Structure 1
Amino acid sequence: MKVKGNHVILSLVALVLGFMIAFSYNLTNKERAKPDYKDKSWDREFQLRNKLIKEEEKTRDLQAELIEKQGELTSIEKKLANEANVYFNLAEDAEKYRMFLGKIKVKGEGVEVTLSDGMTENNNDNINQYLVHERHVFKVINELYISGAAAVAVNGQRINQNSYIVCNGPVITVDGQQHPAPFVFTAIGDADVLESSLNLAGGVKDQLVNENIIFTIEKKDKVILEPVLGS
């Protein structure tokens, strides 16, 4: 009975060992049948790396396209800036032309020149030698424009490129409007320059004074000239 009991124990031990060996063998075969984990991980990394490289290439292409578009945009902006400058200059020129044509109201510093008929105590003198004539008016207006006046008016009436001035006895007709003496010329421009030009030795002032015309000039900080009325 004792020998038989040992045989039973040994048999059980042998059975357990056999089972463990069989289980281990089976598990090993299954693991060998599966793909290697490291190999699978490397494949996944390789795929991701290739995908990343492709995305980087797309990014570089997009960056190159962006730089090209930015260059085109810069060119367009420069072109628009040049056009804006051209249009600004055209608008500025148009404003100057409107001002010279007397189409708009203007204001600024300037001068006020007054021409009055001269006086004589000798009744035998020719009165026409003491009156302001159209030539005197032209001298003042021309000198003002030559000296840089932007706009000129006579007795408040704007002068433009089509203005005509005619002497009719003791009055001056400007564009059909009669004005008696004294004649007041208002001009917009650099007041110092305008005053100096008219006061030059041997200039307009001296010429008019020598022809018995009373001449006065005054600088103005603010001169306002209304636009030309009518057509």
Structure 2
Amino acid sequence: MNNKKKNSKGSFFSRKQFELLIVCVTTGFIIGYSYNQAKDNREAGTINSELFEQEDSYREELITQQERNKELTEELNSLQEQIRKYEKSFASDEKDYKKLVEQAEDLRLLLGELKSDGKGIRITLQDGDYDPKSLNPNDYIVHESHVFKLLNELKISGAQAIAINGQRVMANSYIRCNGPVITIDGTQHPAPFVIEAVGDSDTLMASLNLNGGVVDQLLNDNIVVSLEEHQKLIMPRVKVES
């Protein structure tokens, strides 16, 4: 009988201990869960705070980049405007340079430094038929003044190159009349005098045939004048003695 009670008492303490164990385990679980939940909340709060700071940093960086892009755009527009100004300046300089080159080439042609060929005209001057009734036979001879009139008119009308009896005439050529002979830079040429000019043949012919122009003046001085247009005239460059 006593043994039975003793066993029953021992079993009773075992249940209490078991219940206490369950309570302790449950309490521990609740405490652990609460701790983990609080930890997770703290970590989530920390992460949210970090994300907010990172987002704020990105926002500031974006604003900075936008301002920098605006500055670069303004700088690019300024540089493009400078380039446009330079292009206009270069175009103007190129035109001026091209014009200067053309002028230099025209001068070299007149000086005889360059070979010249192209369309042009040929003028032949001959002494007029002498009239025995005339008091002065020189009134029927071609003089240097006649040649100079013709040369000046050809140059004014745009002749690129001029030759007399095949001799190239330069800008500083010396022409002198000695009776029926004309001397050009020390070389004598008898009549008739064939003057060739390279240039726009229409312009050259029109300028010579003006009313009261050079041809009319030569005819009034009893000079025989003939004019021809040519599609191809060739004049070699002047050989300068060294």
TM-score range, shorter chain: 0.7 to 0.9
Higher mean C-alpha displacement, 30-39 vs 104-113: 30-39
Residue identity opposite 2:64 in structure 1: K
Q: Residue 154 of structure 1 aligns with which residue?
A: 164
Unaligned runs of at least 5 residues, structure 2: 1-6
- Report SS of the residue matched to 1:228: coil
1:90 aligns with 2:100: yes
Q: Residues 131 and 94 (structure 1 numbering): CA distance in 2 closer, same or farther, change over 3 Å?
A: same
Alignment of 1:11-160 (within 5 A): 11=20, 13-34=22-43, 36=45, 37-119=47-129, 128=138, 130-160=140-170
Does 2:201 align with 1:191?
yes
Aligned twin of 2:189 = 179
Q: Contact conserved, 2:126 with 2:193, CA < 8 A, in 1?
A: yes
Deviates more, 1:152-161 or 1:178-187: 152-161
Match of 1:169 among 169, 179, 182: 179
Q: How far apart are the structure 2 equivalents of 1:138 and 1:55?
A: 78
| Distance change >3 Å, CA 221–CA 15, structure 1 → 2 | same
* Long gaps (5+) in structure 1: none
AA matched with 2:34? Y
Deviation at 1:166, TM superposition (A): 1.5
Q: Distance in 2 between matches of 1:86 and 1:147?
A: 23
Distance 1:155 1:181 in 2: 9
CA distance 1:93–1:145, shift in 2 (3 Å): closer
After superposition, the C-alpha distances for 1:131-153 in whole angstroms (9 at most, x for unaligned) are: 43323322322332343323321
Q: Please identify the structure whose Cα radius of gyration is greater.
A: 2
Tell me the matched-pair count. 230
RMSD of aligned residue pairs (Cα, Å): 3.2
Q: Which amino acid aligns with 1:19?
A: G
Aligned-partner SS, 1:34: helix
User: For 2:153, what is the secondary structure of its paired residue?
Assistant: helix
Over residues 17-40 of structure 1, what are the superposed CA-to-partner deviations in whole Å (9 max), with x where a residue is unaligned?
A: 223212213213423543603232
Offset at residue 215 of structure 1 (A):
1.9
Distance, in Å, in 2 between the alignment partners of 1:57 and 1:76 is 29
CA distance in 1 between partners of 2:157 and 2:86 (Å): 42
Q: Percent identity?
A: 42
In 2, Cα distance between equivalents of 1:26 and 1:202: 125
What is the TM-score normalised by the length of structure 1? 0.80
CA apart distance, 1:84: 3.3
